[in-house]
Amino acid sequence: MTFSPVTPQPVEHLQGSIERVTFHSPETGFCVLRVKVRGQRDLVTVIGSAPSVASGEYIEAQGQWTIDRTHGLQFKTEQLRTVPPTTREGIEKYLGSGMIKGIGEHFAKKLVAAFGEQVFDVIENNPERLLELSGIGKKRHDQVVKAWAEQKVVRDIMVFLQSHGVGTARAVRIYKTYGDDAIEKVLENPYQLALDIHGIGFKSADTIAQHIGIPKDSLIRARAGVRHVLQELSSEGHCASRYTTLLTQAEQLLDIPEPILSQAIQAELDENQLIAENINNESCVFLPALYRAEQGTANHLKRLMQGFYSWQGIDPQQAIAWVEEKNAIALSHSQKQAIHLALQSKVLVITGGPGVGKTTLVNSILKIISAKNLRITLCAPTGRAAKRLSESTQRDALTIHRLLAFDPQTGNFRHNADNPLPTDLLVIDEASMVDIVLMNQLLRAVPDPAGVLIVGDVDQLPSVGPGTVLADIINSRAVPVVRLTEIFRQAEASQIIVNAHRVNKGIMPKLPEKPSQKPDKAQTNNYQVQETVTTYQITPAEPPLQDFYLITAETPEDIGAKLLHVVTERIPRRFHYDPIRDIQVLTPMQRGGLGARSLNIELQQRLNPTNTPRIERFGWTFAPQDKIIQTVNNYEKEIFNGDMGTIQEIDEVAGEVAILFDGRLVVYALDELDEISLAYATSVHKSQGSEYPCVVIPIAMQHFMLLERNLIYTAITRAKSLVVLIGQTQALAMAVKGQKAEKRLTNLVSRLG
């Protein structure tokens, strides 16, 4: 089987005059228009994006014809340009549309009757002539002139941006960010767009810069390129870059000589746009935000480890005996030691893999401390992780972002050093997922008398964001650490847990034994004997269900075919799992035939093939009931990178998509859909903090650059009940043995030392 490529539809052109604006959002630019097109008897529905539209305007559009189940034939535009009308009828309709404040239908007729086709020139260049008409005084005159000027500014900005390769949706965002100064800002430094506007990266800004004539070897381009390289390195998890690495990568990206790049780095350092620091006697460069986050995290941990804490003085021996009796459990020796340490520490790290008793230990500590009527606060990096924490502790738990309470008005968290959290103990679960910036924000909001319990599995993949915070805290030896390693007897029944620990030790997972192909007397338990009137027939029986499987396949095409069959048919039939809700495909890569993107397209076609309305935005097609994932933090919506949801409704007329996230309905404008992608398959990194009934993992030699032990270990530990690996045994062996990943460049260990 081969994956079928998506054939792009041919682009068509359409021209006509707007008869009616059915819907227009000034916030997003999304619009639904009824357009009179030459050669078409009926009005045509046109869907697109424009900063402002009005009846009577002439449009020129590029796009495709589509048939919507609810709304019928539509022309969906990729580019939409509006032109002021030139006929008296069109001008009258345009001016009477309400777009220009102070001009209604009645006054529009009067203006056109008085000035004809020259009315636009009169308003713009000789507005005093408006006072010649009866019914217009100074107030209305000023209102019309001001509204006309505002519309002209918007149009000029849009024409300028679109002429330099900026699409309508991005142009609307630029205008919303910079307002009337948009052209001036872009001309002054187009690279600032990459810092200020979501969805515009360095390459897009660089294209605009080339359009407006900024030389390739200019210092402004070199400085922007250097920052971009550091941002790219931070997206790979690094908090800093070696100076030599920064020079080399910037030279490859920009094709600018090294002397200019050195000058650019120095200029950034001089203006504190970058910060230099030695790490292990090597000259390194930080983005200021990451430098401050590392310093802050270290300083706050040192601060919190000092002083009196509320549970100080509790007798550990008595507390352990009390909690064993209260919870009717027998704690292991290592758990008792951990409780002893926890009751004598103000900050503590608890780490360990699945099945080693982390939950029992944390619950025991919380039970002891809460008996003193102390305030306990629980948090985790993602909604799913917080929900799991709440279920396991029977206490309320919040995401870190919700706990800190983001304030959209100020762009900051409400809880900080000046307004600390009202708590005596903060528990941070799934701490391996917390990046350096978020950890700094969280710790700075913890009051001096409070303690902190940091819980996580240090052997999982590090955070998606920069830093290796949990590992660095442990490696610093500055904070007391409990490392649980003993697998409890009840957990040994799960091959998922046993194999996760085997993989973590560099040992191949133990797989279910296959029944022999030839039935004989010694193997009859694997077969059923079916008796008929005249014959005996031996047929293979379904083997008993396991919770861990490896399905071998030798080519990417074979892996893909088996994965699609397993997800859409085999697992739902044998295990009764819903293929959308219960099964999660986790892949090492985003790109390639077995990457998340390709698998999502294939799985969408099989699992949600007929739902309408379907909309295409930012390279994805979305439909109701699609499973999606948020790919960036959106503080205003309180939806964060890695949160998963399901599309409930698409309203093309209103230009909105309603998505359900863990029982909460969140509405997105169409131009915000670049924040989400399909999530039938996701990268292993994106799955951190989540847990799924069933996980399916493709693994192939084409993933060799990413085949790491902690990647496979993280993927396996995301499953509650079933793991299915599909791929090449050689690739699995490479992953289990592999620990070749480049260590993230951070300096937190030495700051804590």
Give me the CATH number covering residue 96. 2.40.50
Clarify whether residues 465 and 591 are in a common domain. Answer: no
What pLDDT, on a 0 to 100 scale, did the predictor assign at position 542? 58
Domain end position, chosen among 124, 151, 178 = 124
Clarify whether residues 480 and 397 are in a common domain. Answer: yes
208 lies in a domain?
no
Clarify whether residues 298 and 414 are in a common domain. Answer: yes
30 lies in a domain?
yes
- Residue 359 is labelled as binding a ligand: yes
Give the C-alpha separation, 516 to 561, whole Å: 25
242 lies in a domain?
no
* CATH number, domain containing residue 584: 3.40.50.300
Clarify whether residues 483 and 619 are in a common domain. Answer: no
Residues of the domain holding 553: 548-737
What pLDDT, on a 0 to 100 scale, did the predictor assign at position 512? 67
Clarify whether residues 467 and 596 are in a common domain. Answer: no
- Residue 518 is labelled as binding a ligand: no
- The overall pTM is greater than 0.85: no
Domain end position, chosen among 452, 487, 522 = 487
Domain end position, chosen among 124, 157, 179 = 124
Give the C-alpha separation, 451 to 426, whole Å: 6
What pLDDT, on a 0 to 100 scale, did the predictor assign at position 518? 42
> Residue 253: enclosing H or E segment and its boundaries?
helix 243-254
Number of domains present in the structure of the chain: 3
Clarify whether residues 438 and 369 are in a common domain. Answer: yes
Clarify whether residues 419 and 567 are in a common domain. Answer: no
- Residue 355 is labelled as binding a ligand: yes
Q: How many CA atoms lie within 13 A of 641 on its CB side?
A: 15
**Residue 516 neighbours by CB under 8 Å, 6+ apart:** 523, 526
52 lies in a domain?
yes
Three-state SS at 634? strand
**Residue 500 neighbours by CB under 8 Å, 6+ apart:** 353, 354, 713, 716, 717
What pLDDT, on a 0 to 100 scale, did the predictor assign at position 105? 76
541 lies in a domain?
no
Clarify whether residues 584 and 469 are in a common domain. Answer: no
Mean pLDDT split into 10-residue runs, the chain, 753 residues? 52 88 76 88 88 80 83 85 78 72 79 87 86 81 80 72 68 77 86 81 86 90 93 92 95 93 96 95 95 97 92 90 90 90 94 90 93 94 88 93 86 93 96 95 96 94 92 96 85 86 91 50 36 36 78 91 95 94 91 88 91 79 93 84 90 83 89 89 87 93 78 92 93 82 88 92
752 lies in a domain?
no
Clarify whether residues 433 and 345 are in a common domain. Answer: yes
Clarify whether residues 467 and 589 are in a common domain. Answer: no
What pLDDT, on a 0 to 100 scale, did the predictor assign at position 195? 81
221 lies in a domain?
no
- Residue 39 is labelled as binding a ligand: no
- Residue 135 is labelled as binding a ligand: no
**Among 529, 520, 501, 463, which Cα is nearest to 716's?**
501
What pLDDT, on a 0 to 100 scale, did the predictor assign at position 4? 46
167 lies in a domain?
no
Clarify whether residues 478 and 560 are in a common domain. Answer: no
Clarify whether residues 615 and 722 are in a common domain. Answer: yes
